[in-house]
Chains A and B, each alone.
Chain A
Amino acid sequence: QKEVEQNSGPLSVPEGAIASLNCTYSDRVSQSFFWYRQYSGKSPELIMSIYSNGDKEDGRFTAQLNKASQYVSLLIRDSQPSDSATYLCAVNKEYGNKLVFGAGTILRVKS
């Protein structure tokens, strides 16, 4: 079992719709969770971080964390073609420790 699992996609959504990206992790001691966006040929860009159960909203993005289910998600409201990218879920087990990345989900927003 991979430490961090994501559906590779591609996930296709129409412009203006809500895109829902999911991620599960295997280690229950994981404490910090991150979503990065990576455009083709570019390096990852931090979108959201979340540390406690529940929802965290930042503009069109909402991260959701459920530690009991070992599940973290990212919702993108009013999806735009510019949101088309690979979204990487990353988990940090301990404070200051390295990140474990999922393989990423390809999102395609069609206009």
Chain B
Amino acid sequence: GAVVSQHPSRVICKSGTSVKIECRSLDFQATTMFWYRQFPKQSLMLMATSNEGSKATYEQGVEKDKFLINHASLTLSTLTVTSAHPEDSSFYICSASSSGQTQYFGPGTRLLVL
């Protein structure tokens, strides 16, 4: 149980384009989903917390207009990186939690912006 998927696993895009990443909880309903970013040899950095049906809460320093988060259902959240630039290249990881406290992570999406 507690399987979380992400799609795509890897994406390469041109600078200035937008990229959408999907996060799905496959066998449980996720009341809360979290989006993290991880640069090489660094720890996870929480970007935002999203609850189903409400606006996401962004961490300090994360631009909400650049990283659009939608959590339309209890099994799906999406992160859209708008007008991506090379500095947005990173490993994006989502996690999902049901009404409890444990977070289960997706396999991550590696974004490369050329």
Q: Does B54 contact A (CB under 8 A)?
A: no
In the bound assembly, the distance between CA atoms of A111 and B101 in angstroms comes to: 36
User: Is A88 in contact with B44, judged by CB distance below 8 angstroms?
Assistant: yes
**Is B43 interfacial (CB-CB < 8 Å)?**
yes
Whole-angstrom distance between the alpha carbons of A71 and B81 in the complex? 38
**Which segment of B12-20, B60-68, B103-111 sits at the interface?**
B103-111
Known: A42-B108, A43-B107. A34 touches B102 (CB 8 A): yes
Q: Assess whether B113 is interfacial by the CB under 8 Å rule.
A: no
Please count how many residues in chain B sit with their CB below 8 Å of the partner chain's CB atoms. 20
A43 touches B108 (CB 8 A): yes
Interface residues of A in 75-111 (CB under 8 A from B): 88, 90, 92, 95-99, 101-104
CB of B105 within 8 A of CB of A101, answer no
Q: Are A95 and B44 in contact (CB under 8 A)?
A: no
Known interface pairs A96-B97, A98-B34. Does A49 touch B102 (Cβ–Cβ under 8 Å)? yes
The 8 A CB mask of A41-52 against B (1 = contact, 0 = none) is 011111001000
CB <8 Å contact, B49 and A43? no
B43 contacts A43, CB within 8 Å?
Answer: no
What is the distance, in angstroms, from A97's C-beta to the closest C-beta of chain B? Answer: 8
**9 A-B pairs (CB sep. < 8 Å):** A34-B102, A36-B105, A44-B93, A44-B105, A49-B102, A95-B101, A99-B46, A99-B103, A103-B43
B contact residues vs A (CB 8 Å cutoff): 31-32, 34, 42-44, 46, 49, 93, 97, 99-108
